[in-house]
Structure 1
Amino acid sequence: MTRLYLSAAIAPLLLFSSANAQETKPADSAVKSAGSKAAAEAVFSTGVAKGRDRLDSATSTSALRESEIEVLGARSLGEVLRNIPGIRAEYAVGEGNDNYSIRGLPLSGTGSKYVQFQEDGLPVLEFGDMYQLGVDMFMRADLNLSAVETIRGGSASTFASNSPGGVINLISKTGDTEGGAVQATYGLNYGEKRVEGDYGYKISDTLRMHIGGFYRQGEGPRDVGYTAYKGGQIKANITKTFDNGYVRLNAKYLDDRTPVYQFVPIRVRGTNDDPTFFGPTNFNPKTDSLLSPFVSNVVTLDRNNNIANDDLRGGQHAVVKSIGLDAQFDVGGWTITEKFRVADIGGGNLTIRPIAVNNATTYATVYGGVGGRLSYATGPLAGQAIANPAALNGNGLLTNALQLDTKIKSLDNATNDIRASRVWEVGGGNLTTTVGFYKSSQDYSTYLTFLNVLSDVRGDGGTSLINVATAAGVPFTQDGYLAYGLGNAFHRTYDMNYGVDAPYASINYHVGKIAIGGSLRYDMGKVRGTLFGAELGGGRVGQTSFDINRNGVISTAETKVAVLPLGQPGRVDYNYDYLSYSAGVNYRIAEQLAVFGRYSRGGRASADKILFTPAVNYNTGKLVDDNSAYDTVKQAELGLKYRAAGVTFNVTGFSARTGERNTQIVSGADGSATVLQIVRGYKAKGVELEAGVRHGPFSVTAGATYTDAKISSDAANAAIIGNTPRHQADLIYSLTPQVEFERVTVGVNVIGTTVSYAQDSNLLELPAYTLVNAFVQVRPTENVQLMLNVNNLFNELALSDSEQGSIPATGVVLGRAYNGRTASATLRYTF
């Protein structure tokens, strides 16, 4: 496979000969301030046929340049993207596996189903929502980053596969500006030490390079009791320019561990439509999690049904080794662009996730019967009885939790995108034609298991596992484990490959003030693989008795050990195809003003979300219903763009209809995990606003999205039709005013949202919030800069989600909160 892709990448280069074009100006040469006229006129190239001035394009686009990202003080990619209009980012999980959507498209599952994440124009993963493995887990923002370009809707459907909602593209520096920087960041009130740097160098008039990266280590913004962040990345590229184009080779190595902040118990009082959330005694949802050294030991049966140990302190471990080629040449009037990348991706994802929370006395009775006893299974008090469960840790709570263990055998992928464009003079205007072909191969080979444990609720990284025994002293748990599995559920292996072939074409005619264009893409997918797991049905057994601790006695917990039915594989062998299209018209009323309209239809392959569901016949590997292979999104847009010296203003009205097949994990009243199979339709309409003003030393940028979204159909639950999709607020917004003098820059970054519903039932409301992030930059000399960033300045409790759809009788929900106040100082030296 690799040889095939290398041949596809290299062959077009052999055809290139001299012509007259020069290399397209790379992103890091762009002027750094969006408020300036030069930046506003910067060519935009993501998700379109050919880079052009945004006022001449019938698309909704945004770009954050390096200096704009710098002042945000973002500690993760999600904290960067929350500032781009139209993007809904739920980033409370940490650095990876966060949730992203665009313009009211649903977040019924996890990850970024309808949004494609790219680095330098190619996807990092073909699918952004693979189970437990979101695409942002394998990306980092550091000094290599020149800009983040985004396109919402529009031609994203036809210039990238599996991206009907939009494309988010991280663009690297390429060394066209010589010099670099080194900097060190220190967490002032949380555990992080980080060093990073980058350097660009012109080796000759036609050869240049860039290299950069970072390394960091520390406990992080939450108290977990161990070093949770450890690792870094290095990226490099070298560019050779010719009279008629350029060739660029690039490489990336990422090896980084970060924690996964899952749901935690949060108390709530009031009513569903007027709740007040607060932390349990001795547990702060803004600074604590259930992660600790005392819940970290994982004991399970591996993919070969042998005893294996793991450690939750490994967290999200992302390992990426990639090399790529980027070339562009003018040949006989055609501009030929070739992008290729092959990536070796591994690692894993480990964390603890509660599925139910209740009073300790209740769990003692539920699992131990009348007179049931509790004791510490792990931690400094291991073996000690809990005499007064109601007073445990001052809050009296226990969680029924899952240890989530996902190991990556291969997420390797190879991607190639070649296109040819030509501009023809026709009837006094320019006719731009583009044809291209995209080919990718994406592995999805993983093992995952869910183990059932009982834990207390304690802050400061002190959470421990808890044992339960009957009044007579007969153990119900073993070392804190209720079961070494979850019945027949979520003990699986995937060994899949997804192949995508997609020819595409576009035509655009620009004459005078009018530009009219359209594009088509035809995706052809080939899905092949083997699955193991009892959830495939057919009499497969996924639970057995096994002497986990090898003491010769089978305990109650050891009668519930998850195994793989290795003699009964499930086969997956199907093809699919679908057509995407987009058409738009742009009218440039004046040099400073343009209006546009566009209609698009795009598709998204269902990928792993239909595996282990009845959608596939696992004997033949074929789909039971061909319609389950992909979902579609139909969008209409009408927008206005204004740009004058020091002022930008973009407003876009949108309407979208989405069909979706997905899965949700919900917890039942008895604490058992339930998988909800979703077959739904959604509709959304709204307005997206982006503005920027600069006058002298003062500037302000702002973004806002108003959305009216509804569930329009549901195959299983008609009662929720007409409801607002969970987590969807009417309004999300960001505002960044700042003042910049010669030696000092001061400003704030404000992001917020109005109320939303915790679940699709539309009962419990998640309160509105506004988070204020402050920044100060001091430049005592030309080459030295000291930066102070404070996120969540007022230490507000802001919830991203709640597992429960209404206030339970216990008055405790499982929710996720954004980090509390964190302050960091950075010292940078440029050269």
Structure 2
Amino acid sequence: MPTPLRRLPHRHPLALAVSWALLPTTVAWAQAAPSTVPAAVAASAAPADAAPAPAETTPDAGLDLGRIVVTGATTARSKMKQSVSVSTVDSEQVQNSTAASAVEVLRAVPGLRAESSGGEGNANLGVRGLPMSDGGGRYVQLQEDGLPVLLVGDVSFATADQFVRADYTLDSIDVVRGGSASTLSTNSPGAIVNFIGKTGKVPGGAVGMSLGLDHRQQRIDFQHGGKLGDKLYYQFGGFYRLGEGTRHTDVTTENGGQFRASLTKELDDRGSYVRVSLKQLKDNTPTYLPVPVQLDGNTIKQLPGIDPRNAFFINSHFPTDVVVGADGHSVTTHPGDGLGVNVSAFGVETQLKPGDGWTVTDRFRKSVINGRFIGLFPAGSQPADYTGSTPVFSAHIFNTSLDDMGNVFNDLRVQKELKLGDEHRLTLTGGLFSGIQNVAQTWYWNRYNVGLTGDGAALYDNAGNPSTEPVGDATTTWGGCCFRSIDVRLTAVAPYAALTWERGPLSLDASVRQDRQRGTGSQRFGDAASGGSWNPDRTTAVHYTADATSYSVGGNYEFGKSLAAFTRFSHGASWKSPDRVIWDERVATGVDPYPVNEVDQFEGGIKFRQSGLNAFVTLFNARTKEGAGFEVTTQTVKKDSYTSQGLEAELAWRLGDFKVAGGATWTHAEIDSGPNKGHTPRRQADWVYQISPSYSFGSLEVGGAIIGTTKSYAQNDNQVVLPGFSVVNLFANYELTPELLLSAGVNNVFDQLGYTEAEGQNNLGNNPLYIARAVNGRSAKLSLRYTF
């Protein structure tokens, strides 16, 4: 992640570039000054590296309110002029969040809840009180350079963040909450999170190495970009790592890396260009799932020997897990491989500006995606047929083959700007998004007895003898529910249109989108009756269609260079992933309508800036109506309506060498229907906050971040409380030379125990166990980076 330690005129611009991914527990520095245009424009609604709208020059304290952004908008304007709530993950936010994954950095964005305690993937994302009724990010779309990573954000065992990595090639992240996100992308009424890559317009390179100080991990990052010839630019880079992650084990659970490259040719001086991009990601990382805990009344307590901050039940005691593949044959897998992802992507981005106010932009990307999700899920207390003396719990191994999660997306946009007079113009936009998303997975979950003695993944048979074999196969796990193969192709077509009217300090805009989706394919189940393979009598042909209309209307008024206000109303829609819905055969076959989730939002806010102080404050109100969906871990169907209202605030203050950035979100959310009517939605805290101070002493900069939340409830019944907690991170950076930077950082300095989710008891049938997932315990890293 880029951004400068401080402005040093004698240094090459890239001497300040450091990727937060190289040192997840410290800080990332930028290659470009605040409020620069290319990072925001390069991969958004009107991406252009050449001849962009000029960035504003009013002094900025850290929120980059003068930065030109077009993510989630149709015209390239500064944050002060946009009628949406938009944040940029820049140096201040990355530094103070000390993120350990691509999504964890989003904890610094007000209004966005990033539960990234699952490791490099499998994160849960919520926004503005919209419900986290299932895993993933149902109302949040993750993008890379303006196109979706996945069409849907809540696919079981394949959330979009699993296929995104942050390294030296990442330039910035734009986050648009609410607003026109409903109409300018699919499945994103809550937010768009756009990861924007470098393009080579700023020449130079960097290489760095990092080392875990209290855990086994080594990583190397690199990047280089520059000019090849007349108006021709290149960029390439990536990373490779090897280790075990922050939770100790005796097997290598981290092994892999990423390579990205792009080539950009400017076609004229008006901003026309063609860009070709490549991405290859092959990575294995540990999967951190909930661990056993106990309840004291409605309070979560640790079990002896099981520390939720570092417990991990996969090691050399658990060498293999034999499953059945989609072809019906046995497959030997290795639990230590954890979350394995393979992504090969090719993209072409073209922008043409023939003149007379016309702009034509097309973005295309094809991604081949597959992998495997392996994680151990505690599913019950000691089995009734267990006769051993060593205490155990019953665990299901979530062993899911991601047979095909590939996709093809294209977004074509045509825009015409009409100048109606001095400071008076009308911009008309028409576009067509189309895409294909494959959701092909094979589930086969064996059952094991795992020791409750704090000795890692010690496995036992039903007589209490050490073993490496399961005590039950997928035909018996949870009643055989999840011996399952899904192969569904989603086809999406979405025409959209927008207009923006500007006159002096006032701008008004409106947009509409018509989403049409079709699902075709099959769903199969296996059972003991078919000899432990797929049962042809339990096969369903999937064929359904669904559509929805979204619209948004907003306006912004600048009272001066230092103050602006906006307001907006939006209606948006999203679809649950088919794996969560086609359990219902009537829906799978199109007899009953496919459930569509609808969100209505009203928001209004102010933006204020002076040389030493920035503020961006937004009031919001959201109403959500969800369609029915099945959650595997609780074995329940969830279908409710919700209301939320609140306030999100971003603030930044700078005084000489001291700077501080912070944010807070207050949310009052309520369930409006069903047996839990009037309750607070699960895992929704009243307050979430972040504060990140830092100070420079010449060549040394030190700082920290406090990220906290008040209490919330584990489930919608509001019985079990997840206590409030705050995590403190610290970092220090020292310039050995202008080109050589030494960095050290500690994540969760005080080893705080903080629960992000919990479930259990009656939800898990006749053998109850309570489980919870917590943030990782304390970890420290050291990094050395050289820029050239």
| TM-score above 0.5, yes or no | yes
Task: Give the superposition deviation at 1:633.
Answer: 0.8
Match of 2:370 among 338, 342, 346: 346
Which residue of structure 2 aligns with residue 503 of structure 1?
495
Pairs within 5 Å for 1:541-552: 542-544=527-529
Amino acid in structure 2 at the alignment position of 1:497: R
- Letter matched to residue 785 of structure 1: L
Local SS of the residue matching 1:157? helix
* Alignment partners' CA distance in 2, 1:775 and 1:232: 25
Find the aligned partners of 2:474 and 2:122 in 1 and give their Cα distance. 25
Q: 1:42 to 1:230 in 2, by over 3 A?
A: same
Q: 2:459 aligns with which of 445, 465, 474?
A: 465
2:12 match: none
Higher mean displacement: 818-827 or 348-357: 348-357
Distance apart, 1:519 and its partner CA: 0.3
State yes or no: 1:656 paired with 2:650: no
Report the equivalent of 2:731: 775
Contact 2:60 2:610 in 1 (8 A): no
2:84 & 2:634 partners in 1: Cα distance? 41
Matched, 1:791 2:747: yes
Distance 1:576 1:822, change over 3 A: same
Secondary structure in 2 aligned to 1:721? coil
Matched-pair contact (CA < 8 Å) for 2:142–2:160: yes
Among 586, 590, 593, the alignment partner of 1:622 is 590
Compute the displacement of 1:26 (Å): 8.5
Partner of 2:79: 54
Q: Secondary structure at the match of 1:81?
A: helix
Amino acid corresponding to residue 298 of structure 1 in structure 2? D
1:283 — aligned with what? 306
Aligned twin of 2:445: 450
Q: Tell me whether 1:149 sits opposite 2:165 in the alignment.
A: no
* 36 and 707 in structure 1: CA distance in 2 versus 1, 3 angstrom threshold: closer
Name the structure 1 match of 2:339.
316
Q: Does 1:523 align with 2:512?
A: no
Match of 1:294 in 2: 317
Aligned residue among 591, 595, 599 for 1:633: 599
Of residues 12, 35, 38, the one that matches 2:61 is 35
1-side partners of 2:669 and 2:198: how far apart? Answer: 38
Which residue of the partner structure matches residue 551 of structure 1? none
Contact residue 147 and residue 172 of structure 1 kept, 8 A = yes
DSSP-derived class of the 1:418 partner: strand
Say whether 1:479 aligns with 2:469. yes
Deviation at 1:458, TM superposition (A): 4.2
- Compared CA separation, residues 751 and 805, structure 1 to 2 (3 A): farther
| Aligned residues of 1:367 and 1:476 also touching (Cα < 8 A) | no
Aligned residue in 2 for 1:692: 652
Deviation at 1:124, TM superposition (A): 0.7
Instruction: For 1:477 and 1:484, locate their aligned partners in 2 and report how far apart those are by CA, in whole Å.
Output: 18
User: Aligned runs of 1:217-256 on 2, under 5 Å?
Assistant: 217-243=242-268, 244=270, 245-256=272-283
Separation of aligned partners in 2, 1:127 and 1:305: 28
Q: Corresponding residue for 2:293?
A: 266
What amino acid does structure 2 have at the position aligned with 1:633? V
Mapped partners of 1:24, 1:159: distance in 2 = 23
2: CA distance, partners of 1:812 / 1:23: 55
- Aligned mates of 1:484, 1:601 — CA distance in 2: 42
Are the counterparts in 2 of residues 573 and 622 from structure 1 also a CA contact under 8 Å?
yes
Change (3 A) 1:421 1:617: closer
Q: Distance in 2 between matches of 1:704 and 1:629?
A: 33
For the structure 1 residues 631 and 258, does the alpha-carbon distance in structure 2 shift closer, same or farther, using more than 3 Å as the test? same
- 1:400 is aligned, of 394, 405, 408, to 394
Paired residues in the alignment total 733
Q: Which runs of 5+ in 2 are unaligned?
A: 1-46
Give distance in 2, aligned partners of 1:502 and 1:623: 24
Q: Deviations over 1:667-692 (max 9, x none)?
A: xxxxxx65211111111110010111
The equivalent residue for 1:10 is none
- Give CA-to-partner distance per residue, 1:30-82, whole Å, 9 cap, x none: 99x97358x43110121111221111111000001257525643221232111
**Alpha-carbon distance in structure 2 between the residues aligned to 1:331 and 1:74:** 43
Work out the CA distance in 1 between the residues paired with 2:585 and 2:641: 18
Q: Is the 8 A contact 1:764 1:806 kept in 2?
A: no
Q: Which residue of 1 aligns with 2:425?
A: 430
Give the conservation status (yes or no) of the 8 Å contact 1:736–1:749: yes
User: Which of 544, 555, 562 is equivalent to 1:585?
Assistant: 555
Q: Give 1:24 deviation, angstroms.
A: 4.5
Alpha-carbon distance in structure 1 between the residues aligned to 2:213 and 2:454: 20
Given the superposition, is the C-alpha separation of residues 760 and 22 from structure 1 closer, same or farther in structure 2, using an over 3 Å criterion? closer
Question: Which amino acid letter does the alignment assign opposite residue 528 of structure 2?
Answer: Q
CA distance in 1, matches of 2:212, 2:198: 27
Q: Report how far residue 468 of structure 1 moved.
A: 1.4
AA partner of residue 741 (structure 2): Q
Supply the AA of the counterpart residue of 2:583. T
Q: What is the TM-score normalised by the length of structure 2?
A: 0.89
| Distance in 2 of aligned mates of 1:292 and 1:674 | 26
Q: Output aligned runs, 1:605-616, within 5 Å.
A: 605-614=575-584, 616=586
Q: 1:129 to 1:101 in 2, by over 3 A?
A: same
Name the stretch that deviates more: 638-647 or 602-611.
Answer: 602-611
- CA shift, 1:581, in A, is 0.2
Distance 1:513 1:444, change over 3 A: same
RMSD in angstroms over aligned alpha carbons?
2.6
Offset at 1:172?
0.4
Q: Output the amino acid matched with 1:587.
A: Y
Give 2:639's aligned amino acid.
V
| Aligned pair partner of 2:435 in 440, 446, 449 | 440
**Partner residue of 1:710?**
670
Identity of aligned residues (%): 33
Instruction: Tell me which residue corresponds to 2:6.
Output: none
Equivalent of 1:116 in 141, 153, 159: 141
- Give how far 1:740 is off: 2.4
| Structure 1 residues 569 and 807, CA gap change in structure 2 (3 angstroms) | closer
User: Offset of 1:325 from its aligned partner?
Assistant: 1.1
Deviation at 1:617, TM superposition (A): 5.3
| Change in CA separation of 1:334 and 1:25 when aligned onto 2, cut-off 3 Å | closer
Equivalent residue of 2:80, what SS?
helix
**Partner of 2:363: helix, strand, or coil?**
strand
Deviation digits for residues 801-829 of structure 1, max 9, x if unmatched? 11137999999731111111100011011
Secondary structure of the corresponding residue to residue 549 of structure 2: strand
* Structural mapping, 1:532-611, within 5 Å: 532-533=524-525, 542-544=527-529, 562-566=532-536, 568-611=538-581
- Larger Rg over CA atoms: 1
CA 566–30 in structure 1, closer or farther in 2 if over 3 Å, else same? farther
Query: Which TM-score applies when normalising by structure 1?
Result: 0.84
- Given the superposition, is the C-alpha separation of residues 431 and 793 from structure 1 closer, same or farther in structure 2, using an over 3 Å criterion? same
Asked if 1 retains the 8 angstrom alpha-carbon contact of 2:624 and 2:642, the reply is yes
DSSP-derived class of the 1:168 partner = strand
Q: What is the SS of the residue equivalent to 1:826?
A: strand
Amino acid at match of 1:521: R
Are 1:215 and 2:240 counterparts? yes
Partner of 2:445: helix, strand, or coil? strand
Where does 1:184-223 land on structure 2 (aligned, <5 Å)? 184-223=209-248
- Between the aligned partners of 2:218 and 2:761, the Cα distance in structure 1 is 39
Runs of at least 5 residues in structure 1 that lack an aligned partner in the other structure: 1-20, 375-388, 535-541, 547-561, 667-672
Q: Secondary structure at the match of 2:118?
A: coil
1:73 matched to 2:71: no
Amino acid at match of 2:472: L
Shift of 1:22: 7.3
Structure 2 partner of 1:380: none
| Code of the aligned partner of 2:725 | Y
